[in-house]
A and B are shown apart, each in its own frame.
Chain A
Amino acid sequence: MKEYQTITEISGPLVYAEVDEAIGYDEIVEIETAQGETLRGQVLESSEGVVAIQVFEGTSGIDQNASVRFLGETMKMPVTEDLLGRVLDGSGRPIDDGPEIVPEERQDIVGAAINPYSREYPEEFIETGVSAIDGMNTLVRGQKLPIFSSSGQPHSQLAMQIARQASVPEEEGDDEDGSEFAVIFGAMGITAEEANEFMEDFERTGALERSVVFMNLADDPAVERTVTPRMVLTTAEYLAFEKDYHVLVILTDMTNYCEALREIGAAREEVPGRRGYPGYMYTDLAQLYERAGRIQGRDGSVTQIPILTMPGDDDTHPIPDLTGYITEGQIYVDPDLNSQGLEPPVNVLPSLSRLMDDGIGEGLTRADHGGVSDQMYAAYAEGEDLRDLVNIVGREALSERDNKYLDFADAFETEFVDQGFDTNRELEETLEIGWDLLSMLPKEELNRVDEEFIEEYYREDDSEREVVEAAD
């Protein structure tokens, strides 16, 4: 391995060095400063005679006398089942004072694309115990379903609730020979306080032993954030497809990741795309999100819940926009609902799970699930519209039918969505609450549910509507 002391330019997170051998694109680099500190980086561009290196830890302390070593390989993640229960930094080094990790394999973190022909279509329902998700935007194994939130919202609590409660109902009995569940948590640029909340929750619920935690905090180097999710997903793929775990990956906060991409792009003087983000951000994000899924003939699965905070709560901002085009739906956390005190403050109207239709129904969840969900969507949307009208003309001016829809919308929020961060509802319960609510509307209005289900579940008599009555 050759050492160079040929740094010609240092600019932001980038270092340019002259070389006299062929250096591969994406190769890992070690830079030793005059103070003896070793920094790590990656080759961003390799030309004859000169390479551009992005330094993960930042370039402070590097001078033109620093020595540069090229390791001759691309970035690897040491993986082993023993990672479960461990806390690592954003580059995959343990920070929990535990024993040294002896890797079973070292895997390339870039990860090759899964052949679409080898994928298995996700259709196994994951019960999160959250009505707004299970009932209306069902999550399935192998899906990527982001949480679209904004600053100051309790998206972390929702993510923790899902991580805590998620289970696959039919397999509860045969867990021993079936696949186990694991959570991999990747923090990118979150504050130490937020990180503590997650860690406390993990420790309190005993979830840590089936988890791997990667921590890149707000004061850690920004450039490191571009490798953290790749480390996370490489570990996830290893556990899922080699060790048969059902892995739930939580990535927070994708906005910080994209900021880091923009920072590197700007330092390289690239032609920027929308709002200064690099033109390849779609491809880059897709290379992360598309690593969710199932593979034929393998028992495990990778399910992703990336969290992103939308700048200005604007979902047309490039980060949520590009994410929405890649992921299979999205869950919106709504500031208005949050200020009304709803827990979790999920706004189901813009939320969506694209894989829901294939993961629910007879044999999977319950035969009436799809109809109930569609009907509640339509009714809640109508109630929402009417609220605008009420502001202008007042409730008295509306017809009896319209008033029923308004009542429905209110009850939907208070009974169905607002369940609390500590309540774990089974799907059966979620659907029964759904029918309680739908029975507030006249039977003839239920045009999206099959007649047989209306026969079976519609509460003809008010006294059957236990939950709502009791709550009123």
Chain B
Amino acid sequence: MSKAESTETTGDGVIQSVSGPVVSARDLDARMNDVVYVGDEGLMGEVIEIEGNVTTIQVYEETSGVGPGEPVENTGEPLSVDLGPGMLDAIYDGVQRPLDVLEGKMGSPYLDRGVDAPGIDLEKEWEFEPTVEVGDEVGRGDVVGIVEETVTIDHKVMVPPDALEEGETTEIASIESGSFDVTETVAELDNGESVSMHQEWPVREPRPSANKKTPRTPLVSGQRILDGLFPIAKGGTAAIPGPFGSGKTVTQHQLAKYADADIIVYVGCGERGNEMTEVIEDFPELEDPANGNPLMARTSLIANTSNMPVAARESCIYTGITIAEYYRDMGYDVALMADSTSRWAEAMREISSRLEEMPGEEGYPAYLAARLAQFYERAGYFENVNGTEGSVSAIGAVSPPGGDFSEPVTQNTLRIVKTFWALDADLAERRHFPSINWNESYSLYKNQLDPWFQENVEEDWPEKRQWAVDVLDEETELQEIVQLVGKDALPDDQQLTLEIARYLREAYLQQNAFHPVDTYCPPEKTYLMLTTIETFNDEAFDALEAGVPVEEIIDIESVPRINRIGVQEDYEEYVEELKADITEELRSLY
């Protein structure tokens, strides 16, 4: 059900028992997944099991003090979100209650119970500009007009998918420009349906689309190791598993800040309150790298921190992806970050164990794999029902217990996603950030994205990447020997390879998220950086062949400047000069 509608309830019941977030009621006339109001305080809940006369409900709020005998009201509607202008630059809890509005309503910094608010402001008026005229033919999902939602994003007002049958069209009967609130009719259709800026959609059901296509454009993140070695496509899926302290959240934040998507939906699922506060404080002040507008103008935040009710944690992922799909329908590229899907899985486990369901692996419910797959399948590059193209990229952080990737959530996620960024505690310990392990990570999108990089950056992008991967692979093998006998026991050429690999690791793969310049690295810079290291590589091996001792090559003065490319704003000039200096210095040795 949606909170925007006046609630007509049907079929009341009575609470039979209460155990934490799970409440059972008798005599409730309800369908699966109906939203209900529980107890005298009217706590929001959802039907998750029906057995005979007894209905089991998961409650999205604390249940302390609620007891048997209190009433349960059914709304007769599934859990839905309010869709319309006002979702950007907003912060929600797991069932799309706006947290800023709740603060005002509750008059307290603490989250009180039984307080509700619609997901979008129903009274705010928006300037509606029609894009079709009376008599124009429209079908499902067709855009009838636009509203400037934020400085960055034009919100497209669409014919709701349920206003018409699939393939059916009708004509615009009337439409006008002007100021409207979201519930007012902005256009009427010939078949009698009316269109307003407000739609609602049940969160557990994917919004319809025409077609899923193969994604061929990268989601450029400005993070060297991601763009350079393990790219994700617009419409792709990625997992970031890592033990605590390995930098999952920082990586997710970097993506939310710098990924070149039109819209960002950031779902903080069962994570730290202070982290969400950081996002709320930082994003309005940060600039969108694409246009200089505030980052919040393209961002919708969903914050269900770890101490907020567990059932709402289970639903927050769905709330997030439904909002993402809505913007996709407008033809936008949307990136959804979920931090962390493990907390979501644990919420499922907690509810499942309260229902006394037969547990699967490690206590997780047997449907864990299916739920994860359903979620990631809602991502993709789509042809929408209105003929436009849009994408939803889903990037999920995973928090494996003890950092052990063999646990069920990581394993079931890996079976679905095509990009894997493995975070590594060892790297994090030596403050190598982002601590993405280059040996374990992979991207299955590499080949289908290469044409884009060749066209938009440089023709030899794939070859350069392969060179870097080869050097890093060789280093890993050599390191094993070094562990046994020490570096000096290696032949000169291998010592040189180790040195080259060191620059790859320290200058290229490491990136300082807290440095104003280094935090975002455009693909051109990523490319130039790699070619600088390659220049050093080529010149150094030439010198070695000419008989220059390896110590002298390594010791040249100019080469440590590679480490400073990342922080240069005018990197092109710097790189040119550096390449020339390295070449000159090395050639002067022989």
Contacts and interface: CB of A to CB of B under 8 A. Distances in A.
A221 interface: no
B277 A116 contact: yes
A286 B429 contact: no
A453 interface: no
A282 B346 contact: yes
Contacts of A393: 485-486
Given A121-B274, A290-B307, A389-B483, A74 B111 contact: no
Contacts of B303: 116-117
Interface stretch (A6-14, A271-279, A336-344): A271-279
A236 interface: no
B81 interface: no
Contacts of A218: none
Contact of A25 (B66, B106, B243, B403): B66
Interface in A49-88: 73-74
A321 B402 contact: yes
Q: How large is the interface on A (under 10, 10 to 19, 20 to 34, 35 or more residues)?
A: 35 or more
Contact of B273 (A114, A297, A381, A447): A114
A293 B274 contact: yes
A280 B194 CA distance: 46
Interface string A24-38: 111100000000000
B431 A112 contact: no
B194 to A, nearest CB: 34
A325 B99 contact: no
A235 B270 CA distance: 25
A207 to B, nearest CB: 27
B64 A273 contact: no
Contact of A326 (B306, B349, B485): B306
A46 B245 CA distance: 40
Given A280-B310, A324-B244, A374-B431, A45 B349 contact: no
Contacts of B428: 352
Contacts of B401: 274, 316, 318, 321-322
Contact of A121 (B278, B429, B506): B278
Contacts of A295: 109
Contacts of A241: 109
B16 A290 contact: no
B483 A378 contact: no
Given A22-B69, A112-B62, A117-B99, A325 B244 contact: yes
A122 B353 CA distance: 36
B307 A377 contact: no
B363 A272 contact: yes
Q: Which of B112, B244, B402, B485 has the most CB of A within 10 A?
A: B244
Contacts of B64: 24-26, 74, 108, 110
Contacts of B560: 444, 447
A290 B306 contact: yes
A115 B359 CA distance: 33
Nearest to B246: A352
A321 B407 CA distance: 14
A47 interface: yes
B289 interface: no
B484 interface: yes
Interface string A318-334: 10011011101110000
A378 B277 contact: no
Interface string A222-259: 00000000000000000001000000000000000000
Interface stretch (B17-25, B220-228, B329-337): B17-25
Given A113-B305, A352-B245, A48 B68 contact: yes
B233 to A, nearest CB: 29
A87 to B, nearest CB: 28
B280 A22 contact: no
Interface string A351-388: 01011011000000000001000100110011000001
Nearest to B487: A399
Interface in B313-350: 343, 346, 349-350
A286 B273 CA distance: 10
A392 B349 CA distance: 48
A349 interface: yes
A423 interface: no
Contacts of A27: 65, 67
A283 interface: yes
A23 interface: yes
A296 interface: yes
Contact of B17 (A46, A110, A271, A447): A46
A46 B563 contact: no
B contact face: mostly helix, strand, loop, or mixed? mixed
A142 interface: yes
Nearest to B407: A274
B70 interface: yes
Interface string B289-314: 00000000000000101111010000
Contacts of A329: 245
Interface in A199-219: none
Contacts of A267: none
B434 to A, nearest CB: 14
Given A45-B17, A286-B307, A447 B563 contact: yes
Given A273-B349, A397-B488, A290 B67 contact: no
Given A282-B306, A286-B270, A381 B346 contact: no
A326 B308 CA distance: 13
A378 B506 CA distance: 11
A282 B514 contact: no
Which of A46, A74, A120, A392 is the most central at the interface, judged by chain B CB atoms within 10 Å of its CB?
A: A46
A113 to B, nearest CB: 5
B273 A382 contact: no
A114 B563 contact: no
B430 A382 contact: yes
Contact of B350 (A73, A283, A290, A322): A283
A115 B111 contact: yes
Contacts of A326: 272, 306
A287 interface: yes
A463 interface: no
Contact of A112 (B111, B346, B362): B111
Interface in A293-321: 293, 295-298, 315-318, 321
B117 to A, nearest CB: 12
Contacts of A374: 431
Contact of B404 (A290, A291, A316): A316
A152 interface: no
A118 interface: yes
A370 B514 contact: yes
B573 interface: no
A45 B19 contact: yes
A350 interface: yes
B431 A377 contact: yes
Interface in B1-59: 15-20
Given A25-B67, A293-B273, A316-B404, 8 more contacts: A112-B112, A114-B110, A117-B91, A143-B274, A283-B310, A324-B245, A350-B429, A447-B563
24 contacts: A22-B70, A24-B64, A25-B19, A26-B64, A45-B18, A45-B19, A46-B19, A47-B68, A48-B17, A48-B69, A74-B64, A113-B308, A114-B109, A114-B111, A116-B276, A273-B353, A280-B350, A282-B270, A287-B307, A316-B404, A326-B306, A329-B245, A389-B486, A448-B431
Interface of A: 21-27, 44-48, 73-74, 108, 110-122, 142-143, 241, 270-274, 279-280, 282-283, 286-287, 289-291, 293, 295-298, 315-318, 321-322, 324-326, 328-330, 349-350, 352, 354-355, 357-358, 370, 374, 377-378, 381-382, 388-389, 392-393, 397-399, 402, 444, 447-448
Interface of B: 15-20, 62-70, 91, 99-100, 102-103, 106, 109-113, 243-245, 268, 270, 272-274, 276-278, 280-281, 303, 305-308, 310, 343, 346, 349-350, 353, 356, 359, 362-363, 399, 401-404, 425, 428-431, 483-488, 506, 514, 560, 563
Q: Closest 4 A-B residue pairs measured CB to CB?
A: A316-B402, A286-B306, A47-B17, A118-B109
